[in-house]
Structure 1
Amino acid sequence: MANNIDVKDLLEAGVHFGHMTRKWDPNMAPYIYMERNGIHIINLYKTAAKIEEANEALKKIAASGRKVLFVATKKQAKDIVAEKAAAANMPYITERWPGGMLTNFVTIRKAIKKMASIDRMKKDGTFNTLSKKERLQVDRLRAKLDKNLGSIADMTRLPAALFIVDIKAEHIAVKEAHKLNIPVFAMVDTNSDPRQVDYVIPANDDASKSIDKILSLVTDSIKDGLAERKSEKDQQQQEQKAEKATEKAEANTTATEE
């Protein structure tokens, strides 16, 4: 379970290290504990409380069957986000954010369908009828599409929420989410404006250990939500089977009596 966040674990992961004081955003003041050697230190008790708040909401989204899109294109976050999001069966963007990813989702879906059509060409043999030059072009297009959009290939509709690592780096994603009223969950460092985020997790968004720790906690709660959904579905199926069995038994009894 992702509940009862241990502050000691957050401390060991370096979640408390903010930016240099001269780079701070004054709106982060409520989440700052102190200043040490010119660096702001984040209040980890507030971080823990905010993680629990975010996790509760993320768990509900996952349990409802909707998707959370994870976004992190900075070097130290990419691999961690890709691994954690994939393990929780959620879509993610770790390459360049495609402009209009949310606001022009229809076009993005067309690009994903193009990828699927290339795969069909390869399966049904059409690909082999192309010239060597054409095959090379198609392969390059497929590789480019897969690199940028492969991780969202199963996202057939807009996500219910975004989870972002570093809202400064991903400001376009934040802007698009705002336009469509899609809630934003994010790791927010001391140099960023938390007012842009619906569920703020004040944390060091530059160190890989810190990112890994927060992402582990967040995706664990999503997995809990998915497990809850599966359990409910299994229960419904069992109840339906039991109902059918009862109906069948009653029908047999009636037929015997007649």
Structure 2
Amino acid sequence: MANNEQVKELLDAGVHFGHLTRKWNPNMAPYIYMERNGIHIINLYKTSAKLAEAEEALKKIAASGRKILFVATKKQAKDIVAENAQKANMPYITERWPGGMLTNFVTIRKAVKKMSSIDRMKQDGTFNTLSKKERLAVDRTRAKLEKNLGSISDMNRLPGAIFVVDITREHIAVKEAQKLNIPIFAMVDTNSDPRQVDYVIPSNDDAGKSIAKIVSSVSDAIVDGLKERKAEKETEAAVASEGAEVKTARKRTAAAPIAVASSEEE
């Protein structure tokens, strides 16, 4: 896609609208094009370049087999992020960020395993042996765990990266990722500090259309990375299968003269 064409799409989605000038973070100055009616306007050519850079990096992470954790708890972003994370088969947090989600991952995994334990109880009949009061308590616990952690149930280890919508709101997630040196990709608006992020995508992180445009582009790149990984695995499997067939053929060829010699001796 031509750069100008992508910039037009970003413009149509309202990605260029920043915050009021009095709420800006001076560190975002390199990404600001101008000020209009008291609002900062983001330079979409820089957004386009940074988005392409982030997409390429995320594609590589996905192709390596590592997970990318999506984080967005603000109302206008939750459904968009959940939908796109599911499309890319990636974990996501759209409810309250559980403190220690990354820095105390072992405890979080125990909570996820508790969900599986309750499910097994229901399957093997143990759940039915409980009193009505106990069953209600277990159901409430299961529902609460599902709401907060159900979307990360397949994340068995720390993610290879996190993608954040609004780093000011999700500052705890950002700090945890920084502490563990997990790469941070994020939509960064004019009121936030881009220095906290490894891959900055300067953009409007409040409007639904803007969030949808950036997040869908990112998830598409991740899907491409997963396709590359799948194709690579299929190629490796085909080569391995072909190698096995060649070895078998060689063994048969090597054994053939011995069988002939044995027949002549008789």
TM over 0.5: yes
Tell me how large the CA RMSD over aligned residues is: 1.1
Q: Which residue identity is paired with 1:200?
A: V
Q: Which residue identity is paired with 1:139?
A: D
CA shift digits 1:64-99 (9 cap, x unpaired) = 000110000000000000000111011000000000
Scaled by the length of structure 1, what TM-score is found? 0.98
Residue in structure 2 matched with residue 160 of structure 1 by the alignment: 160
Deviation at 1:109, TM superposition (A): 0.4
In structure 1, C-alpha distance between the alignment counterparts of 2:198 and 2:148, rounded to whole Å: 26
Residue in structure 1 matched with residue 264 of structure 2 by the alignment: none
4+ runs of 1 displaced by more than 6 Å?
none
Deviation at 1:254, TM superposition (A): 2.3
CA shift digits 1:136-172 (9 cap, x unpaired) = 1111100000000000001010011110000011000
Residue in structure 2 matched with residue 106 of structure 1 by the alignment: 106
Residue in structure 2 matched with residue 57 of structure 1 by the alignment: 57
In structure 2, C-alpha distance between the alignment counterparts of 1:141 and 1:194, rounded to whole Å: 38
Deviation at 1:255, TM superposition (A): 2.5
Deviation at 1:250, TM superposition (A): 1.5
Structure with the greater alpha carbon radius of gyration:
2
Structure 2 unaligned segments of length 5 or more: list them.
259-266
In structure 1, C-alpha distance between the alignment counterparts of 2:174 and 2:2, rounded to whole Å: 27
Residue in structure 2 matched with residue 22 of structure 1 by the alignment: 22
Deviation at 1:183, TM superposition (A): 1.1
Structure 1 unaligned segments of length 5 or more: list them.
none
Residue in structure 2 matched with residue 143 of structure 1 by the alignment: 143
Q: Which residue identity is paired with 2:71?
A: V
**What secondary structure does 2:233 align onto?**
helix
Residue in structure 1 matched with residue 88 of structure 2 by the alignment: 88
Scaled by the length of structure 2, what TM-score is found? 0.95
**What secondary structure does 1:19 align onto?**
strand
**What secondary structure does 2:163 align onto?**
strand
Residue in structure 1 matched with residue 42 of structure 2 by the alignment: 42
Residue in structure 2 matched with residue 69 of structure 1 by the alignment: 69
In structure 1, C-alpha distance between the alignment counterparts of 2:56 and 2:71, rounded to whole Å: 20
Q: Which residue identity is paired with 2:186?
A: A
**Aligned length, in residue pairs:** 257
Residue in structure 2 matched with residue 250 of structure 1 by the alignment: 250
In structure 1, C-alpha distance between the alignment counterparts of 2:24 and 2:213, rounded to whole Å: 23
Deviation at 1:247, TM superposition (A): 1.1
In structure 1, C-alpha distance between the alignment counterparts of 2:2 and 2:98, rounded to whole Å: 34
Deviation at 1:3, TM superposition (A): 8.8
Residue in structure 1 matched with residue 202 of structure 2 by the alignment: 202
Deviation at 1:248, TM superposition (A): 1.2
In structure 2, C-alpha distance between the alignment counterparts of 1:126 and 1:210, rounded to whole Å: 48
In structure 2, C-alpha distance between the alignment counterparts of 1:80 and 1:214, rounded to whole Å: 10
Sequence identity (%): 75
Where in structure 2 are the equivalents of 1:112-123 lying within 5 Å?
Answer: 112-123=112-123
Deviation at 1:18, TM superposition (A): 0.4
CA shift digits 1:106-138 (9 cap, x unpaired) = 000000000000111111111111111111111
In structure 1, C-alpha distance between the alignment counterparts of 2:147 and 2:209, rounded to whole Å: 25
**What secondary structure does 1:6 align onto?**
helix
